[in-house]
Amino acid sequence: DQQVKQNSPSLSVQEGRISILNCDYTNSMFDYFLWYKKYPAEGPTFLISISSIKDKNEDGRFTVFLNKSAKHLSLHIVPSQPGDSAVYFCAASAKTGTASKLTFGTGTRLQVTL
Task: List interacting residues with other proteins (CB under 8 A).
Answer: 4, 6, 9, 32, 34, 36, 41-46, 49, 51, 89, 91, 98-102, 104-107
Q: How far is the CB of 106 from other proteins (least distance, A)?
A: 4
Distance (Å, whole) CA 59 – CA 71: 22
Q: 69 exposed, middle or buried (CB, 10 Å; 0-12, 13-18, 19+)?
A: exposed
The nearer residue to other proteins, 4 or 112, going by C-beta atoms, is 4
The nearer residue to other proteins, 57 or 79, going by C-beta atoms, is 57
Q: How far is the CB of 113 from other proteins (least distance, A)?
A: 23
Distance (Å, whole) CA 10 – CA 98: 36
Q: How far is the CB of 17 from other proteins (least distance, A)?
A: 26
Distance (Å, whole) CA 111 – CA 29: 32
The nearer residue to other proteins, 60 or 114, going by C-beta atoms, is 60
Strand duo 86-96 + 99-104: pairing: antiparallel
